[in-house]
Amino acid sequence: MRVLVIGSGAREHALLLGLRKDTCVDFLAVAPGNAGTSAVAEQHDVDVTSAEAVTALARKLVIDLVIIGPEVPLVLGVADAVRAAGIACFGPSKDAARIEGSKAFAKDVMAAAGVRTAGSETVDNPAHLDAALDRFGPATGQPAWVVKDDGLAAGKGVVVTADRDAARAHAASLLDSGHPVLLESFLDGPEVSLFCLVDGATVVPLLPAQDFKRVGDNDAGPNTGGMGAYSPLPWLTAEATAAMVSSVVEPVAAELVRRGSPFSGLLYAGLAMTSTGPAVVEFNCRFGDPETQAVLALLESPLGQLLHATSTGTLADFAALQWADGYAVTVVVAAENYPGRPRVGDVITGSEAAGVLHAGTARRNDGAVISSGGRVLSVVGTGTDLVAAREDAYRTVSSIRLPGSHFRTDIALAAAEGRITPA
Ligand code: GLY
């Protein structure tokens, strides 16, 4: 099978390494990729938001399966164009990708499917903002305001704050730039990232994971695209995971079928384990980053065949998924100033070590690997328990040099110490 992966992050590097292990995959290409993926796949520099460019590349390379990693091409309909060209594609249609592309659409689908989620209100007129803020947050006895960009924001459109001025300023700046704002009630409890392969109505969950969205230890500082993750979750029972699949993901998949926009690809449910049961924080229409790097480190089933079965509507016939025993932990090494405007162009050493996945990296003319984005590397460690997986990941992190870089030191720490209990 000849496979083309679209994207340039550590998620795509993890997908490529997983695909390389599948004996049915005999050719790998990536567009645009990064300095790390060039060792695994033929690299092509095309505009991945252009349906024409991606389809033309897939045709030229005689590709059997295109796997689209990031949400932007999906929301723009690139998967529709690839499928229309007669090539199997892992990733939802433009219509189904609205589950991530519009929070208002996702809320509507969840309401119709009877799925629990935070109460919310969409504000698109600045004149209505103050009254809406009065209906949420500390004004109503909640610990904080939750203010979200209605559209795509690379994980950075969310502000959760008990400071009304900060909540108002974030909402006002979104409205100023023409983005509707979603105000949500606050969901307490530990969060779960549940990735499910979906082909229409068939839903197959992967191992649950947890990510760390704030930039600093102990969840200090602003939100990021994700600073680390671990999988599986020792504090979550298999029964609780199965209940999330049956009460959240399957009803949403069925509702999308009912609306004539069946989902095909990876449906990512972000859930909070609240004191009154699981509730959806968000849906995404693709593999999450950095959770994928941990989840795929444990997958033993053949990834290429699995994603091809999802893309061709034969997931129900696929054998039960096989997983390695133990745990995986991912630690993100970020550039100076991330999640603000990152410093780029610094030379990185140690990035060729086992377990190091590349994201914001590029190769200079002299061959040196340099930083080119905010989240630069994802370092994956594995072990028989979370303590060992953390040690493995942080040992590798300590061997990497990137001036000004930073990483969280507490990824998976609370879970390793048994300090997480679902309410
Ligand atoms: N880990 C968060 C995301 O992928 O959106």
Same domain, 18 and 84: yes
- Give domain status of residue 82, yes or no: yes
Taking the centre of ligand 1 as the mean of its atom positions, its distance from the CA of residue 289, in whole angstroms, is 5
Question: What is the pLDDT confidence band of residue 44, given thresholds at 50, 70 and 90?
Answer: very high
* Ligand 1 centroid to residue 127 C-alpha, Å: 32
The residue nearest atom 4 of ligand 1, judged by CA position, is 288
Question: 87-130: per-residue pLDDT in tens?
Answer: 999 999 999 999 999 888 999 999 999 999 988 888 988 988 98
Residues of the chain with pLDDT > 90, as a percent, come to: 83
Classify residue 253: in a domain, yes or no.
no
Rounded to an integer, the average pLDDT of 231-249 is: 96
Ligand 1 atom, smallest distance to 284 CA:
5
Domain ranges, residue 169: 120-184
End position of a domain, from candidates 93, 112, 133 = 93
Q: Distance from the CA of 96 to the center of ligand 1, in angstroms?
A: 18
User: Ligand 1: which residue has its CA nearest to atom 5?
Assistant: 288
pLDDT tens-digit readout, 241-257:
999 999 999 999 999 99
**Closest ligand 1 atom to the C-alpha of 282?**
5
Q: Which of 11, 289, 378 to mutate to test the pocket of ligand 1 (most atoms within 8 A of CB)?
A: 289
Pocket test for ligand 1, best of 191, 268, 281, 283 (most atoms within 8 A of CB): 268
Query: Which of 184, 215, 231 is the C-terminal boundary of a domain?
Result: 184
Q: What is the pLDDT of residue 423?
A: 65
Same domain assignment for residues 81 and 150: no
Q: In this predicted structure, what is the pLDDT of residue 156?
A: 59
Rg (CA), the chain: 20
Among the residue ranges 185-189, 218-222, 294-298, the one predicted with the least confidence is 185-189
pLDDT of residue 91: 98
Residue bearing the bigger pLDDT, 14 or 142:
14
Region 170-192: mean pLDDT is 89
User: Mean of the pLDDT values across residues 173-183?
Assistant: 89
Among the candidates 184, 217, 233, a domain finishes at: 184
Number of domains in the chain: 2
- Rounded-to-10 torsion of CA 112, 115, 117, 120: 10
Looking up residue 51, the CATH number of its domain turns out to be 3.40.50.20
Question: Does 330 reside within a domain?
Answer: no
CB 381 within 8 A of CB 317: no
Residue 169 maps to which CATH number?
A: 3.30.1490.20
Q: Are residues 6 and 89 in the same domain?
A: yes
Other Cβ atoms closer than 10 A to 9: 26
- pLDDT of 31 reads 98
User: 154 and 84 share a domain?
Assistant: no
* Nearest residue by C-alpha to atom 3 in ligand 1: 288
Q: What is the DSSP string of 219-263?
A: GEEEE-S-SEEEES-TTS-HHHHHHHIIIIIHHHHHHHHHTT---
pTM of this structure: 0.93
Q: Are both 22 and 84 inside the same structural domain?
A: yes
Distance (Å) from CA 70 to ligand 1 centroid: 10
How many angstroms separate the alpha carbon of residue 367 from the centre of ligand 1? 31
Q: What was the pLDDT predicted at 135?
A: 87
The best mutation among 211, 271, 293, 296 to test binding of ligand 1, ranked by most ligand atoms within 8 Å of the C-beta, falls on: 211
Confidence band for 154, pLDDT divided at 50, 70 and 90: low
Strands (E), 150-190: 158-161, 181-184
**Ligand 1 pocket at CB < 6 A:** 155, 211, 226, 284, 288-289, 291
Of 81-85, 99-103, 208-212, 331-335, the range with the lowest mean pLDDT is 99-103
In a domain, 404, yes or no: no
Reply yes or no on whether the pLDDT at 297 is more than 80: yes
pLDDT in tens, 189-228: 899 999 999 999 899 999 999 999 999 999 999 989 999 9
Q: 44 alpha carbon to ligand 1 midpoint, in Å?
A: 25
Number of Cβ atoms within 10 Å of the Cβ of 404: 13
Range 333-359 average pLDDT: 97
Range of weakest confidence among 97-111, 149-163, 214-228, 311-325? 149-163
